[in-house]
Amino acid sequence: MTEDRSALRIRVASRAAIVLGIFTLAVAIALVINDRRTRFKDPLESPELVGRKEALRATPRDDSLKGAIREVDRDLRAEYFRRQAFAARGGYLLVLGLAGFVIAVRLSVAWRKRPPEPKPMPAFLERRMRDAGRARWSVSALGFILVAGAVVWIALSASGCYVETVDVSAGGGGAERGADPKAGKVAPAKAPRDMPPPSREEVRKHWPRFRGPDGLGISAYANTPATWNGATGENILWKAPVPLPGENSPVVWGDRVFLTGATEEVREVYCFDAASGAILWTKPVETPSSRPPTPVDPLDATGFAAPTAVTDGRFVCAIFANGDIACFDVDGKAVWARNLGAPMENAYGHGASLLMHGDLLLVPYDQGTDEDGLSRLYALNVRTGKPVWEAKRPVGSSWATPIIIDAAGGLQLIAAADPFAIAYDPENGTEIWRASILKGDVASSPVFGDGLVYTVTVDTELCATKPDGKGDVTKTHVLWKAEDGLPDITSPLTDGKHVWLLPTDGYLVCYDAKTGKKVYEQEVDARFNGSPSLAGDKLYLLDMKGVMRIISSGPEYKEIGTAELGEKSNCSPAFLAGRIYIRGKEHLYAIGGAKS
Amino acid sequence: MKPSPLFPIVAILIAFGSAVPAHAAQRFPPPEFDTGYRLPVTETPGRRVALRDSLPDHADVAALAGAIVLATVFAYKVRSRPWMLALTIGSLLYFGFYRRGCICPIGSIQNVTEGLFNSGAGVPIAVLLFFLIPLVAALLFGRTFCASVCPLGAVQDVVLAKPVAVPPWLDHALGLLAYVYLALAVLLAATQSVYVICEYDPFVSLFRLVDLPGMEGGGPVHGLTLAAIFVSAAVFIGRPYCRYLCPYGALLRFLSRLSWKRVTITPDRCVQCTLCTDACPFGAIRMPTPLVPGVPRTAGKTRLAAALLLVPVLALLGGYLGYRLGPPLSRAHAQVRLADRIRLEDAGAVADTTEASDAFRATGRPVDELYAEARAVTERFTGRWTHRDILTTKTKIVRLWVLRPGLAAWAGAIAGLVFGLKLVELSIRRRRTDWEADRAGCVACARCFAYCPVERATEEKKEIAWKPI
């Protein structure tokens, strides 16, 4: 072939390559644009179509609108299929263009290629050794880059850029970082004392105190089990023995369940692994040496560990019959301990449970009569145990646990004892209002629902009080009263529509929450010490034999099912997502839908 | 007379031709009509089942085996680049565009791994054969699979126009990335996290770009972007994916070092003409390195000893890094990601929910169960601590805690081991008297044959012998 013809064919091939390359690139760009437009224009989700369909729902007889919808629908579909066809054709063009481009380039290169020529013999050994030396350095450099990258990735993972390590619900984040030899499968959760207190929304996701996040006995989760059997093991995820007795109820935060137990000599706080029931730690609580131990003699039914502990995911605090109060972090490390003085004037033994508000540990400590002036409400700094404020209460002994509600433009702590239901500002203990509506032994804790505070004693009435008053609101803010089904031990339950009372003898009464009108009453053939609870539309009633009756929360008594624990219980259950924790006389049970 | 180079191309194309299936209809939910209007029934001719859909997977296995046999014959017996190129194009069309790149031996690593590490996962026979056949071929005849059968290699081979030589020092280092990728792919497949090889296959989007009749075309834009990058690179760099990333190639490289037969540049003896020095666009030709008397070898021996000592150190370092990377790597698993998401939502750290979290909550399963499952998955990556009481006295117990390494630690250890062995390899001085194809790097593409004057002389002799009188 002559040189001219050779140069010509090379030129032709080169230009063909350029043309085909530009063509291929143009097709690729067009396909990308088409793809983006198709991706973001789903005809079914077109705002125009959706809007017109919404309008048609409002005016179903509008024929012109129907016609418009059909037109828009047809146009959108037509465009959709047009773009799809374009993509299909474009794919062919792209592949053909690319193939042509590659052929043209290869021909151009092949036709330019010169035959190989012998090369001078280099110093192969030296070249090879130089190449090998450089290769060793480059391999080392690559290794170093990969190691550095791995270290950075590990550091980022460990520093909290991964959610596991900055988990604000302590106890849930550490597990993913691997097993800790000392804690078995569960890695110790972080309980940094510098962490701020959890928000109210976060608190509501756990079961941190007696009767749940707001002390109302209402579960945040509706998917709680409705059937189990302690004897056969059905839906019993695990059952763990509790070393010492106690009438306190379980509190749960994340993957930790806390209980206390005590005898006259020994007082202990327990942390269980929520997944397996293993005891993660046991901590004794000892009377601080500055105070000699004061013997107390509570009622057998009350015991030495009646008050339920409280936790906020950072700390867990517990109080016992002799006035010992202790605080640990969730890993079991002791934070502080003190003794408030044994409540000698408490006839049945101290039973009111603790609660927390931010960094305040609130300790209801009622004893004696209203004239003795011994009753107190303490607020301690949970980090140090030092008192922040103290409210002297004009009330006698009580065993009710206060609640904190959000009403009338602010937070109120509602405490109930003979003779007053009193609302305090939880930040400083300032009294907001009081109502003289209680008498006798107040064991039932107040509840709050749909803007009303409900208090009850067996010797007076169930009262519904509006919390937006100031001072003595006895005559002005008590909306209604009722007299049937008054409990002596259990606390009421309300969902804002109804109020349920469950006395020890099982005479369940349901009232209309707004009017106080009795909706129904039902004699349940059982005895109850545990307060009723609500999960979704199911009421859970746990009797003293450990039989749970699950009834509907509707306007009539309707039993959905029963479940037997196989063990006696006087406690109130804890409700989490898909799980219930119940303390029996000797064991702690975790009940759930599937074995973990 | 030597046959025309175009003949094999035409022959292979005809051999790989396929039936034309009917065009599939698009499906789209019809609109809802309140007036009782009935959508007319669309009449379409009955769909002919595409040959592709009716072929059993074993047909592909037979095609694979047949193609490897042909490649071996073209590399060893026929020694013809045109035939090899024809086979390459045919493989690209069949295994690539027609079978759309799946199943392929590269992805089969994951299937086999998952089957080995998880008792509930089965491996289809066809997939197992896809995995084994090229490996056996490599053990016998070298990387003849890479030569012209692998569709990924075929794409890169076909588009290679103006090869630029990659410096050997860079080539050695980048080649190790394939082993790291292999370790990562095996780890993620063994833990049933993700098939990362398939997810990031740079060419499968190209194979599925074309909307052939009877098949839906198109692919994700990110896949096409990856394809565009690698195809563009392959125009100038010989087989970049094969040399630096292909995890299956890492296995083939290892086995081909032990192969029974090897591809040679010359069919007879090397005459030291140096004409083939620049013949290979993949840097797989090794120059002679004769022993030179008088050159001290002490430094080399010291270097080798140090490299050997480094091997266990690098393996341990890799194992440790793998162990520490276990938790972040475990997030490749859907359960772990879901547990993270649920935890974020429950902690109020995020305002929205995802479809996965909504679906989980709708099941009513307890969250603790999910967390337990996620922990179990993470433990597969990181390992688990076990203990044994080695001494018990009245007052104390001495307990020995041992970490049973997880899969991430093993993957890291193997990657570290590979780096160590590479340093050893680079510290060994091999005596070579002729120009040779590197056993591990040579993909038997037959490009270098035409450069060899001995090859040409042999061909001419055959032509003279063949020429009719």
What chain B residue is nearest to A592 in terms of C-alpha separation? Answer: B366
Task: Please report residues of A whose CB lies closer than 8 A to that of B218.
Answer: 35, 87-88, 91
Q: Is A144 on the interface with B (CB under 8 A)?
A: no
Q: Kindly report the nearest CA distance between residue A417 and chain B, in angstroms.
A: 36
B274 neighbourhood in chain A, CB within 8 Å:
118-121
pLDDT of residue B46: 59
Signed CA dihedral, A479, A483, A485, A487: sign only? positive
Q: What is the pLDDT of residue B363?
A: 85
Does position A14 have pLDDT exceeding 50, yes or no? yes
Looking at per-residue pLDDT, the higher value among B315 and B462 belongs to B315
- As for the ipTM of the complex, it is 0.78
pLDDT of B212 > 80? The answer is no
DSSP assignment of A109-165: HHHHPPPP-PPP---HHHHHHHHHHHHHHHHHHHHHHHHHHHHHHHHHIIIIISGGG
Q: pLDDT grade, residue A378 (50/70/90)?
A: very high
Residue percentage of chain B with pLDDT more than 90: 37
Question: Residue B290 above 60 pLDDT?
Answer: yes
Nearest CA to B154 out of B92, B86, B63, B73 is that of B92
Q: In the prediction, which pLDDT does A547 show?
A: 93
* pLDDT of res. B434: 82
Count of residues making up chain B: 469
Mean pLDDT across chain A, nearest whole number?
85
Alpha carbons within 13 A on the beta-carbon side of B76:
15
Tokens for A544? 């003293």
Strand arrangement, sheet containing A498-501? A493-494, A498-501, A507-512, A518-523
Range 444-473 of A in CB contact (< 8 A) with B: none
Q: Give the closest-approach CA distance of B216 to chain A in angstroms.
A: 9
Nearest chain A residue to B175, by CA: A139
Q: Are A125 and B170 in contact (CB < 8 Å)?
A: no
Tens digits of per-residue pLDDT, A205-229? Answer: 899 999 999 999 999 888 888 889 8
Q: HEC states along chain B?
A: CCCCCHHHHHHHHHHCCCCCCCCCCCCCCCCCCCCCCCCCCCCCCCCCCCHHHHCCHHHHHHHHHHHHHHHHHHHHHHCCHHHHHHHHHHHHHHHHHHCCCCCCHHHHHHHHHHHHHCCCCCCCHHHHHHHHHHHHHHHHHCCHHHHHCCHHHHHHHHHCCCCCCCCHHHHHHHHCHHHHHHHHHHHHHHCCCCCHHHHCCCCHHHHCCCCCCCCCCCCCHHHHHHHHHHHHHHHHCCCHHHHHCCHHHHHHHHHHCCCCCCCCCCCCCCCCCCCCCCCCCCCCEECCECCCCCCCCHHHHHHHHHHHHHHHHHHHHHHHHHHHHHHHHHCCCHHHHHHHHHHHHHCCCCCCCCHHHHHHHHHCCCHHHHHHHHHHHHHHHHEEEEEEEEEECCCCEEEEEEEEECHHHHHHHHHHHHHHHHHHHHHCCCCECCCEECCCCCCCCCCHHHHCHHHHHHHHHHHHHHCCC
Top pLDDT among A425 and B367 is at A425
Give Cβ neighbours of residue B264 (< 8 Å, ≥ 6 apart): B436, B437
Q: Report the greatest alpha carbon distance in chain A.
A: 126
Q: Tokens standing for B126? A: 């066809």
Q: Please judge whether A132 and B161 are an interchain contact, meaning their C-beta atoms are less than 8 angstroms apart.
A: no
Chain B interface includes A59 (CB < 8 A): no
Token pair in block for residue A511: 């009232």
Which of A87, A128, A146 has the CB atom closest to B287's CB atom?
Answer: A128
Is the CB of A116 less than 8 angstroms away from the CB of B325? no
| Cβ neighbours of B170 in A, within 8 Å | 138
CB A540 within 8 A of CB A550: yes
Interchain CB contacts (distance < 8 Å): A and B:
222
How far is residue A509's CA from residue A498's CA, in Å, rounded to a whole number? 10
CA angle A548, A553, A558 (to 5 degrees): 65
Please give the distance of CA B49 from its chain centroid, rounded to a whole number. 31
Position A347 scores a pLDDT of 74
Question: A121 and B170 in contact by Cβ < 8 A?
Answer: no
**DSSP 8-class letter at A594:** S
Q: Which residues contact A227 (CB under 8 A, 6 or more apart)?
A: A234, A235, A561, A563
Q: What pLDDT is attached to residue A320?
A: 92
CB within 8 Å: B344 and A163: yes
Percentage of residues in chain A having pLDDT higher than 90: 42
Task: Indicate yes or no: CB of B368 within 8 angstroms of CB of A70.
Answer: no
Using a 10 angstrom Cβ sphere, with 0-12 exposed, 13-18 middle and 19 or more buried, the burial of residue A19 is: middle
Mean pLDDT of the region A324-347: 84
The string of DSSP codes covering A328-387 is EETTS-EEEEEE----TT-SS---PPPEEETTEEEEEE--S-TTTT--EEEEEETTT--E
CB contact under 8 A, B173 and A146: no
3-state SS class at A549? strand
Q: What is the pLDDT of residues B382-439, one digit of tens each?
A: 888 777 777 777 666 677 777 788 899 999 999 999 999 999 998 887 777 888 888 8
Q: Which residue has the higher pLDDT, B388 or B244?
A: B244
Say whether residue A178 is in contact with chain B using an 8 A CB cutoff: yes
Residue A275's pLDDT band (cuts 50, 70, 90): confident
Residue B300 has pLDDT above 50, yes or no: yes
Asked if A139 and B365 come within 8 Å (Cβ–Cβ), the reply is no
Q: Which residues of B touch A169 (CB under 8 A)?
A: 343, 346-347
pLDDT in tens, B151-190: 999 999 998 988 898 998 999 999 999 999 999 999 999 9
The answer to whether the CB of A199 falls within 8 A of the CB of A357 is no
Q: Do A181 and B385 touch (CB under 8 A)?
A: yes
CB within 8 Å: A119 and B172: no
Q: Which chain A residue has its CA at the smallest distance from B417's CA?
A: A143
CB A457 within 8 A of CB A471: no
| Residue of chain B whose Cα is closest to the Cα of A157 | B328
- In our burial notation (b when 16+ CB lie closer than 10 A, e otherwise), range B415-451 reads bbbbbbbbbbbbbebeeeeebbbbbbbbbbbbbbbbb
> Does the pLDDT value for residue A500 go beyond 90?
yes
